[in-house]
Amino acid sequence: MTEPVLAIRNLTVRYGAKRVLTGVDLSLMRGDWFFLLGPNGSGKTTLLRCVGGQIVPAAGTVNIGGLSILEAPHSAKRLLGYAHPPEGLPGLLTGRQCLEVYAAAHDLPDIGSGILELAAQLRLTPALDQWVASYSLGTRQKLSILLALIGNPALVVLDEAFNGLDPASALVLRRELQQRVAERRCAVLLATHALDSVLRHGTRAGLLLDGALTRAWDAQELDALRTGDPGALEAVLAEAARECAA
């Protein structure tokens, strides 16, 4: 049996006295496109930040390719592509310089033709030599995703990655991710509220409510939802939220 790309076990995170995540378990293999769903404040971003090693959990483990993000961060992060929030990108670097820094960190000889081609498809090439401070939200978002894809990471982590993107760019990026997933080059973990994307691209999905993964859908269940009522997933989410509140 092959090693999961991402293995989260019993993850618990507290902000002071407040418990944000409680006993979350999740395992992703190459070829999985996992959609993390949940209302605002349910802990989606916190979970992703734990995967990125930015938050140290109160309990539990996060392993990427069998390597602990806390005990062997250097090796684990070699397998990780993490799209940072667009507002966190450095305003005083050009897009190309950001890509260069990321390529150097991954010990790549250059940025890579694949990434530059993708930048061209996203119509980002003219902006690459301008300062990030001059970028619009959508342009920053594109750069953030490109940075996450540098070095063909085995795990791509995206938080609301398609917000602010024009439809054409969103389509290009979805196709790119779909291709990587279909070729089993990586697993994608995406937190989102866009339920249509879940049905179109998702191989698995999970609902995070009050810090706990309360409901999960595998490929068969998602297939059933695809062929059935298009509003079924929305109804299931609303029902789950009501149950949790009750």
Partner 1 sequence: MHSPLLAALRLETTNHLRAWYLHGRRIRMWFAIAMIAAAVAAVIALATQFAPVLLRVVAPHLLTVNVLVALQASVLAHWGRRKWTAIYSGNWLSTLPVSRRQCARMVALRAFLASAPLLALPPAVVLLARLCAPRSGAITSALLTGIGIATAVGVLLGWYLPAREVRHSAPALPYAAASRASAVPRLVALSRWTETQTRVWLQPRSLARLLLPAMLLVPMDSANVAIALLSLWVLAVYLLVLLRAMVQVAREGAAWLRPTSLTFYRFAWSVARRPLFKQLQWTLLATVLLVALGCQPLVAARVAEWWLALVSVTSGIALSRAYQSRAMRLRLLVSVCAMAVLERFRQHLALPCALVISAWHIREAART
Residues that bind partner 1 (CB under 8 A): 13-16, 49, 52-56, 58, 73-75, 77-78, 80, 82, 84, 88-90, 92-94, 97-98, 100-102, 104-106, 131, 147
Min dist. Cβ of residue 12 to partner 1 (A)? 11
Report how far residue 207's alpha carbon sits from residue 44's, in angstroms, rounded to the nearest whole number: 9
Min dist. Cβ of residue 25 to partner 1 (A)? 21
DSSP letter at 131? B
Which of these, 50, 67, 52, 65, lies nearest to 10 by C-alpha position? 50
Nearer to partner 1, 81 or 202 (CB): 81
Nearer to partner 1, 106 or 193 (CB): 106
Which of these, 90, 180, 198, 67, lies nearest to 144 by C-alpha position? 90
The phi, psi pair for 23, rounded to 5°, reads: 55, 45
Min dist. Cβ of residue 55 to partner 1 (A)? 6
Min dist. Cβ of residue 101 to partner 1 (A)? 5
Min dist. Cβ of residue 193 to partner 1 (A)? 23
Neighbours of 93 (CB within 10 A): 15
Min dist. Cβ of residue 131 to partner 1 (A)? 7
Min dist. Cβ of residue 61 to partner 1 (A)? 16
Report how far residue 161's alpha carbon sits from residue 122's, in angstroms, rounded to the nearest whole number: 14
Nearer to partner 1, 27 or 97 (CB): 97
Nearer to partner 1, 55 or 195 (CB): 55
Nearer to partner 1, 80 or 225 (CB): 80
152: left (phi over 0), alpha (psi -120 to 50) or beta: left
What is the four-CA torsion angle of 60, 66, 70, 73, rounded to 10 degrees? -160
Which of these, 198, 111, 216, 122, lies nearest to 166 by C-alpha position? 122
Q: Which residue has the tokens 């029902």?
A: 239
Tokens of 22: 């409680």
Nearer to partner 1, 79 or 119 (CB): 79
Nearer to partner 1, 101 or 232 (CB): 101
Report how far residue 200's alpha carbon sits from residue 32's, in angstroms, rounded to the nearest whole number: 14
Neighbours of 205 (CB within 10 A): 25
